Amino acid sequence: MSKQLTLEIAQKFLQDGTGDLDTFTSIDAAAAQALAQHKGDLYLGGLTSLSEAAAQALAQHKGRDLGLGLTSLSEGTAHALAQHKGGNLCLDGLTSLSEAAAQALAQHKRSLFLKRGLSLGGLTSLSDAAAQALAKHKGGCLYLSGLTSLSEAAAQALAQHEGDLWLWELTSLSEAAAQALAQHKGDLYLGKVESKVARYRA
C-alpha cells in the first residue's frame, strides 16, 4: 500500500525527530525540499518511487549519508541524485541499473569530511556497459557489494576506478577477471576471491 511523505510529516520530523521515515513509499517535492535541510544522515528506505523534482530537492541534502530504498532508477532521477551535496549516496535497494543511469550516477563526486561514496549494494548483476560507466565515478568509494560474479570486461572497466572498490560478495572470478582487477590502483575489498586477485597484485 502506498504511503506518501508530506510536507507536514517532514516538518514534524525536523522539529522533534519523531516519525519513522522508512515507512513511506513516496515523497512529494515540498517534503523533499524540507528534509534536505536535515543536517544528519537521512534514510528513506521505503521509497519505491521518486520524482525528478523530489530527487533534485533531496540532492541538496548536506548531511553525511543519503539513503534511498528505490529498486529502480530513471536516467533523469539518477542525474538529479548525482548532484547530492553531502557524503555517501546509498542506493542499496537497486536491483538493476541501466547504462544511462550508471553514467549519470558516475558524476557523483563532491566530497565532504569523509570519503564520498556511491553505494549500490543491492545490485546482483552488472552489465559491462554499466561497469564502464560506473568506473568513471571519481568520488571516493564505490560499493558493489551485492555482486557475486563479474565478467572479464566488467573487471577491466572497474579496475580503472579511481578510488576504493568494494566487491565483497564475489564468489566466482575467472583468472582473466582476477588479473584485470589486480590492476586497480586503489584499495580492493574482495572477500572470498581476495587471494586469487592478490596473486596478480604488484
- Give the pLDDT of the chain (202 residues) as one tens digit per residue: 789 999 999 999 999 888 899 999 999 999 999 999 999 999 999 999 999 999 999 999 988 899 999 999 999 999 999 999 888 899 999 999 999 999 999 988 753 333 457 899 999 999 999 999 999 988 678 999 999 999 999 999 999 998 899 999 999 999 999 999 999 998 999 999 999 999 998 6
In this predicted structure, what is the pLDDT of residue 17? 83
Report how far residue 58's alpha carbon sits from residue 61's, in angstroms, rounded to the nearest whole number: 6
Q: Is the dihedral of CA 106, 109, 112, 115 positive or negative?
A: positive
For residue 150, give the 3-state DSSP assignment: coil
Relative to beta strand 42-44, strand 26-27 is unpaired
Q: Give the CA distances from residue 156 to residues 42, 98, 123, 128, 190, in Å, rounded to whole numbers and listed in that order.
A: 34, 19, 18, 9, 15
Domains in the chain: boundaries:
52-146
Closest C-alpha among 27, 32, 43 to residue 90: 43
The pTM of the full predicted model, rounded to 2 decimals, is 0.85
The total number of residues shown for the chain amounts to 202
Report the chain's C-alpha Rg in angstroms: 17
Which residue in the block uniquely carries the three cell numbers 528534509?
Answer: 35
Let me know: does 164 contact 140? Beta carbons within 8 Å.
yes
In this predicted structure, what is the pLDDT of residue 202? 66
